[in-house]
Structure 1
Amino acid sequence: MSHSVEHVLIVGAGLAGLRTAEELRRGGYTGELTLLGDENRAPYDRPPLSKQYVRGETDDTALRPAEFFDEQDIRLRLGIAATGVDTAARRVRLSDGTEAGYDALVIATGLRPRRIPGVPEVSGVHVLRSHTDAQALREQLGSARKAVIVGAGFIGCELAAGLRHRGLDVTLVEPQPTPLFAALDAEVGALVARLHESEGVELRCGVGVESLVTEGDSVSGVRLADGSVIDADLVVIGIGSVPVTDWLEGSGIPLAAPGDGGGVLTDETGHTIVPGVWAVGDVAAWPHAIGRNKRVEHWTNAGEQAQVLAAALLGVDRRSEVQVPYVWSDQYDMKIQVLGIPALADEVQIVEDKGRKFLAHYLRAGELVAVVGASMAGKVMKARAQLAVTLHPPATVG
């Protein structure tokens, strides 16, 4: 690493930002290290928010105890957002009116939830991304009876399971043909749909939301595009998220087009074309095995990228250690695991279907590119070695 890197500023105090700070210290970096977060809460784990936290089974989602940051000499600045960056002067403008200098800037600002345009700000309508979002949702569950979840992606499906666990009537609305259609295709989506229906969830797939129905300043229902109305005293909007990159406008830091998922464009180590600027985690569009830069919103991906980025910043090449993409989702008593890179154009083969257990293979040009299983951890993970060869991650080429 160049001797000139005396201060690393990490903007974003989520999982990816924290892991990068940890990897830098683990790799021997002894310079100044600042972790900047826009929430007034130390780094916490997001996956439990849609599961154990909402169900009231845990209150502790902290990733590290408070003393960790002092022990590792990591300066934690909370409740402050980045509002702009001057890459020539290597300074970041902050929401409190001050600036922070850096020698190396790591962008780890993550995502913010999409909103439905025109939806009024009324009581009973929620999104779920932050700890504050989850707390507001959990506080309403005691008085709610009928919930509508708009969007049957992983978060929406997990919430449907969690709210059924709490005894609510749940309707899951999804404009695509099945739950998890965009992530896992229709064949596997149909198996997930069967699971939710067996648990008493009403599925309304293939139809979108037209508007919310309100009484006073509270939500009372959801009007769908087909004209039907679903009664609800609780609505959760889970229609995906967008990368937090607005503060980079005018900086010269390259961004992927919104149609390609947006995010900060980097090389296979997380470095952008702008000297001293890096990106990691959900906000970062790294080179991908599909042949272009792509953001990967997986919990495991954040840690793996942090290892590679921190090593590169320290002058060490760890690109070969990037793993096969992996994500999991806990729904009811099932753990759905996805290993590899499913795509809608893939050929899907349902290898096993035992009701609440299933296994699917995804083939592209006759080669296995992904495996999805429900409560079949052994058979899913058995495919890891084969997928590592088939996918040829960019980091292992050349």
Structure 2
Amino acid sequence: MVDADQTFVIVGGGLAGAKAAETLRAEGFTGRVILICDERDHPYERPPLSKGYLLGKEERDSVFVHEPAWYARHDVELHLGQTVVAVDRAAKTVRYGDDGTLVHYDKLLFATGAEPRRLDIPGTGLAGVHHLRRLAHAERLKGVLTALGRDNGHLVIAGAGWIGLEVAAAARMYGAEVTVVEPEPTPLHGALGPELGNLFAELHREHGVRFRFGARLTEIVGQDGMVLAARTDDGEEHPAHAVLAAIGAAPRVGLAEAAGLELADRAHGGGIAVDARLRTSDPDIYAAGDVASFPLDLFGTRLRVEHWANALNGGPAAARSMLGHDVIYDRVPYFFSDQYDVGMEYSGWAPPGSYDEVVIRGDVGKRHFIAFWLKEGRVLAGMNMNVWDVTEHIQSLIRARAVVDPEALADPGVPLQTLSA
């Protein structure tokens, strides 16, 4: 039973942390809620950083989870620009800030997120090398893309994942020249496999993006601190005025590891290992969002999910679990992307090697279809491209784990909801 004498501390001021704080108050918790964020901006959502805000379609203020006054109004003690330096599990304390402020916790939530992986090659210290994870990164990159478009400049992107492709689309919309370097044979190879990855390659080529598949950056060449070119291991040199490293993100587990919490192995994406209630190996410490690796019986594995929906839903689930509610976090992974005139949503989990068939419902040529990844006739994942209001049905098919008729699945005349009954 919780009461007004208790203190709940949330480390990490992203979407998961902010929604956890909101949920604690919405569920009636009257104790102290302390939210510690190492960024100076109020908690914000990350999808706009590579989508609407980067494209100039959304205002800066639109990215914030709550208006600034919300925190004081709901008695959430928000500490911006403060880094947590240590967690003492025995004393149940968190130390943060330059002055080493010490605060006691009854329950603690790690919502520390992830950080962009760095290129380990010569030239990464040049002024034109960028990453995209934080609002400040997006603000800087927005200015860079504007200048590149104005001056017919070249952007080289290392990595053809979701961030790489969304920035490539934004850069082309600004008018910049774009080359994407990717070691896999297709974009999004680890997420979608080659069948659908090729579709995204075609989409971007139609908009003027150049790809170098099966290659890696080996050096960024510069002069007077500025980027001039990027070299790849196939012996090519690509003109570049800016380089974006979009080679994935690593969970921020340093604090948890130093505190002796159990971590997930790399095969499961790393991160802080939690149970279905989002509890760590310490019963008074929880984790949610990008940093948490949780068991998902639906797929018989442990997953770490780096997407908006996981933060949006995981933060509140962790908050309820901290309050002692009967929580089982088993959400079907979900993410979305917007590139040029294409919008898509993906539900499920079907990495290469896990499925034996891809079934298409609709018209791939018109980019108006749903793709299903199947294993022994059971739906593992589904992606709807420019087809809307079907996510619930797709997720029902995944949860049902029933064997479906591929011909019926491919037939737009057969309602999806009848296949999961």
User: What TM-score, normalized to structure 2?
Assistant: 0.89
- Which piece of structure 1 moves more, 93-102 or 6-15? 93-102
The correspondence of residues 11-160 of structure 1 with structure 2, limited to 5 A, is 11-57=11-57, 58-60=59-61, 61-96=63-98, 97-119=100-122, 120-144=124-148, 145-160=153-168
For residues 377 and 5 of structure 1, the distance between their equivalents in structure 2, rounded to whole angstroms, comes to 47
For residues 385 and 277 of structure 1, the distance between their equivalents in structure 2, rounded to whole angstroms, comes to 32
For residues 378 and 54 of structure 1, the distance between their equivalents in structure 2, rounded to whole angstroms, comes to 26
Question: Shift in Å at residue 139 of structure 1?
Answer: 2.0
For residues 332 and 100 of structure 1, the distance between their equivalents in structure 2, rounded to whole angstroms, comes to 47
The correspondence of residues 339-378 of structure 1 with structure 2, limited to 5 A, is 339-345=347-353, 346-347=355-356, 348-352=358-362, 353-378=364-389
State whether residues 2 and 29 of structure 2, in contact with CA within 8 Å, keep that contact through their aligned partners in structure 1: no
For residues 252 and 292 of structure 1, the distance between their equivalents in structure 2, rounded to whole angstroms, comes to 23
- The answer as to 2:322 corresponding to 1:313 is yes
Question: Shift in Å at residue 379 of structure 1?
Answer: 4.5
| SS of residue matched to 1:172 | strand
The correspondence of residues 273-292 of structure 1 with structure 2, limited to 5 A, is 273-288=281-296, 289-292=298-301
For residues 375 and 182 of structure 2, the distance between their equivalents in structure 1, rounded to whole angstroms, comes to 27
User: What TM-score, normalized to structure 1?
Assistant: 0.94
For residues 285 and 342 of structure 2, the distance between their equivalents in structure 1, rounded to whole angstroms, comes to 41
Change (3 A) 1:137 1:143: same
Change (3 A) 1:116 1:125: same
For residues 258 and 110 of structure 2, the distance between their equivalents in structure 1, rounded to whole angstroms, comes to 15
**Match for 1:110: what amino acid?**
G
**Match for 1:69: what amino acid?**
Y
**Match for 2:286: what amino acid?**
W
| SS of residue matched to 1:142 | helix
* Structure 1 unaligned blocks of 5 or more: 392-398
Question: Shift in Å at residue 369 of structure 1?
Answer: 1.1
* Structure 2 unaligned blocks of 5 or more: 403-421
For residues 90 and 281 of structure 1, the distance between their equivalents in structure 2, rounded to whole angstroms, comes to 22
For residues 115 and 281 of structure 2, the distance between their equivalents in structure 1, rounded to whole angstroms, comes to 25
Residue from 278, 296, 299 that aligns with 2:305: 296
Pairwise CA RMSD of aligned residues? 1.7
**Match for 1:108: what amino acid?**
A
Question: Shift in Å at residue 210 of structure 1?
Answer: 1.2
Residue from 214, 220, 223 that aligns with 2:228: 220
Residue from 320, 324, 333 that aligns with 2:341: 333
Ranges of 4+ aligned residues in structure 1 off by more than 6 Å: none
For residues 342 and 125 of structure 2, the distance between their equivalents in structure 1, rounded to whole angstroms, comes to 35
- Which piece of structure 1 moves more, 2-11 or 44-53? 2-11
Structure 2 residue aligned with 1:395: none
Question: Shift in Å at residue 4 of structure 1?
Answer: 8.9
- Which piece of structure 1 moves more, 198-207 or 37-46? 198-207
Question: Shift in Å at residue 79 of structure 1?
Answer: 0.5
**Match for 2:305: what amino acid?**
V
Question: Shift in Å at residue 263 of structure 1?
Answer: 0.7
Change (3 A) 1:200 1:237: same
**Match for 1:340: what amino acid?**
G
**Match for 2:111: what amino acid?**
A
- The answer as to 2:210 corresponding to 1:202 is yes
Question: Shift in Å at residue 380 of structure 1?
Answer: 4.7
Question: Shift in Å at residue 48 of structure 1?
Answer: 0.5
For residues 2 and 45 of structure 2, the distance between their equivalents in structure 1, rounded to whole angstroms, comes to 33
State whether residues 54 and 162 of structure 1, in contact with CA within 8 Å, keep that contact through their aligned partners in structure 2: yes
State whether residues 36 and 80 of structure 1, in contact with CA within 8 Å, keep that contact through their aligned partners in structure 2: yes
The correspondence of residues 170-249 of structure 1 with structure 2, limited to 5 A, is 170-249=178-257
State whether residues 305 and 322 of structure 1, in contact with CA within 8 Å, keep that contact through their aligned partners in structure 2: no
CA deviation digits over 1:313-338, x for unaligned, max 9? Answer: 2222142x743221100111111210
Question: Shift in Å at residue 291 of structure 1?
Answer: 2.3
Identity level (%): 38
Question: Shift in Å at residue 275 of structure 1?
Answer: 2.7
| SS of residue matched to 1:377 | coil
Change (3 A) 1:5 1:300: farther
State whether residues 362 and 371 of structure 1, in contact with CA within 8 Å, keep that contact through their aligned partners in structure 2: yes
CA deviation digits over 1:86-116, x for unaligned, max 9? Answer: 1010111224122222111100000000001
State whether residues 121 and 220 of structure 2, in contact with CA within 8 Å, keep that contact through their aligned partners in structure 1: no
**Match for 1:122: what amino acid?**
L
Structure 2 residue aligned with 1:394: none
